[in-house]
Structure 1
Amino acid sequence: MATAPPTIGQRIDSQYAALSPQEQRAADVILDHLGDLAVYSATELAKMSGVSKATVSRLFRRLGFSDSAEVREHARALRSQGAPLGGVGAAAGTPSALAAHASHETENLQKMLAGLDDGRLDAAARLIAGAGEVVLVGLRNSYPLALHLRQQLAQARGRVRLAPVPGQSLGEDLAGLGSRDVVVLVGFRRRPSGFALIMQALQERGVPVILISDSSARRYAEGCVQWLECPVDSVSAFDSYAAAMSLMNLLASGVLGVNVRDGRTRIATITSVYDALDELETPTSFY
């Protein structure tokens, strides 16, 4: 398997001690602005770091880039892959940064909702509600989302499980599934290399798949019965899953709404078991 080339941040880290003081100043500015590096020219970076444009250009060449255009393309490619970008010195808590974060979160949510107004969310909810067994699969950064969705769906219906169990393989969890079951595959970007094989194995067994991911997984959409797209782009160093968590809420609520009476009965039963096991804290009244 080919090894991915080092990122610009990794290149700076490996060569930082050998850089001249002027180049280190430019490198510091680059590290502090990795999240938005794609929008800066060499001239702008030079001005921000208080060095000459020639110094910035020389630094780029030492890092293995031909010019600032190649650096910007490199930064765009990293961000599109979900690589965390941003330096320690990035001002995360300033009013302007918080406002930009809120604005982008709202934009992600609006994009996600706009993609669901064609009835696909309802179709996915009905498919889950009527399935014999529902298996939630989420790997790497998608695992917490799949775990949360499993917890919500378990309130609405039985025979819902998460796969794989931590530390275990996936094969035994998929082997017994068939056309009457459903796999909800959560596969946001930076997926493991075997993701395509998971899709292929499910297709060969005729298992309906609901795929939840960002736009990077569109190439897998053809093999799914339902494709729910959710953006995770962020103005910060890391991807944001706020809209994705909102989507999980909508999907679970939709499943509960398919058979409201059965769902309420199940919730009541679960609540009684909570009480019998004394599992939940008793709410404190402030009045």
Structure 2
Amino acid sequence: MNGNTNDLTSRINECYGSLSKGQKILATYITDNYDKAVFLTAAKMGQVVGVSESTVVRFATHLGYKGYPEFQKALEEMVRNKLNSIQRMEVTYGRISQSHILETVLQSDQEKIKDTLEHIDEHAFELAVDTIIKAKHIYIVGIRSCAPLAAFMAFYFNLMFENVTLLQTNNSSELFEQMVRISKDDVIIGISFPRYSMRTLKAMEFANNRNAKVITLTDSVHSPMNLYSSCNLIARSDMASIVDSLVAPLSVINALIVALCMKKQGEVAKTLETLEDIWNEYQVYENDEINYIDDKIKMRYAKLGDADE
């Protein structure tokens, strides 16, 4: 048996249609929670999923493995390599019908938020808030699909703090150049989910070597992002599809922003008052975004139209 990632993924995809109801539940759980499933015995997995131990063993043999131990080795290899984009797409197409895409994806996102809420470490969350509040300079880094999360965080952090740097990540050299002054008084927040970014990991290592505080937002306590972190925020994200589900991580970021606003209410209020004055003075929203027409102008246009008739 060739127990590589592609082998297990392909077997689940190819056999899905012929699986029993209980085995399909197992297949769904394993593809969505492979980082947790890898640590479970056949009996424990059955208990977690709600099927018998014998169903779990039959599932493994149905996929072509000699038994559960051989299946578990293939699962370990799957976790080690993670799923690439093509394999995620293959698994999704094998499990979701075209008519149920919206329902399936939204329910999956809902479950990830619920799971995140049930398992996130509240002490780590409070530690992150205190660390950010006390930092002299805040650095934020997120690569590829995590870049929008980093940009969202930086946008709101800039309303609360004077020294916020959203690291631009065209290459590793530029990344380090932007962090050259990072020190023990600073904090870096690294955001990364499977497949993990090596550049983000290197940024964490660089900051840690300079004794800066390191906060990570990632998907598992086993994430390599936690190697250099003193504060880990765990949010469920992995989804067996071409698209990574980042709804739960965004919710955690929202919670961070709200918590920080509560700690800095006075300063945030003053900043927003200043911004409102600036937006009004330079017509940031009225002309560029909304472009309302005054009621008096509308009435004048109406009268002109009547006169033309």
SS in 2 for 1:106: helix
The residue that corresponds to 2:163 in the other structure is 159
Greater fraction of residues in helix: 2
The residue that corresponds to 1:173 in the other structure is 178
Q: 1:43 to 1:208 in 2, by over 3 A?
A: closer
Give the number of the structure with larger relative contact order, counting CA–CA contacts within 8 Å between residues 6 or more apart.
Answer: 1
Q: 1:78 to 1:243 in 2, by over 3 A?
A: same
SS in 2 for 1:212: strand
TM-score, structure 1 length as denominator? Answer: 0.68
Give the Cα–Cα distance (whole angstroms) in 1 for the partners of residues 174 and 143 of structure 2: 11
Q: For structure 1, which segment, 154-163 or 218-227, has the greater mean C-alpha deviation from structure 2 after superposition? A: 218-227
- Give the deviation of 1:78 after TM superposition: 7.5
The residue that corresponds to 1:61 in the other structure is none
Match of 1:253 among 231, 249, 258: 258
| CA offsets 1:189-246 (integer angstroms, 9 cap, x no match) | 2223344433222111001011011117534425322100111122543221111111
Give the Cα–Cα distance (whole angstroms) in 2 for the partners of residues 125 and 100 of structure 1: 34
Give the Cα–Cα distance (whole angstroms) in 2 for the partners of residues 226 and 83 of structure 1: 28
- Kindly indicate whether the alpha-carbon contact (under 8 Å) linking 2:138 and 2:165 is maintained by their aligned counterparts in 1: yes
Runs of 4+ in 1 over 6 A off after TM superposition: none
The residue that corresponds to 1:226 in the other structure is 231
- Kindly indicate whether the alpha-carbon contact (under 8 Å) linking 1:136 and 1:184 is maintained by their aligned counterparts in 2: yes
Computed over aligned residues only, the root mean square deviation of the Cα atoms, in angstroms, reads: 3.6
Q: Which of 1 and 2 has greater Rg?
A: 2
Which residues of 2 match residues 15-164 of structure 1 at below 5 A? Answer: 38=12, 40-41=14-15, 44=18, 68-69=64-65, 73=74, 77=78, 81-84=82-85, 85-87=88-90, 93-95=98-100, 97-116=101-120, 118-164=122-168
Q: 1:284 to 1:231 in 2, by over 3 A?
A: farther
1:81 is matched by which residue type in structure 2?
K
- Kindly indicate whether the alpha-carbon contact (under 8 Å) linking 1:164 and 1:170 is maintained by their aligned counterparts in 2: yes
Give the Cα–Cα distance (whole angstroms) in 1 for the partners of residues 233 and 114 of structure 2: 14
Q: For structure 1, which segment, 111-120 or 183-192, has the greater mean C-alpha deviation from structure 2 after superposition? A: 111-120
- Name structure 1 gaps, 5 residues minimum: 9-33, 46-66
Q: 1:215 to 1:6 in 2, by over 3 A?
A: closer
- Name structure 2 gaps, 5 residues minimum: 20-62, 294-309
TM-score, structure 2 length as denominator? Answer: 0.63
Q: Note if 1:204 corresponds to 2:209.
A: yes
2:194 is matched by which residue type in structure 1?
R
Q: How many pairs does the alignment contain?
A: 234
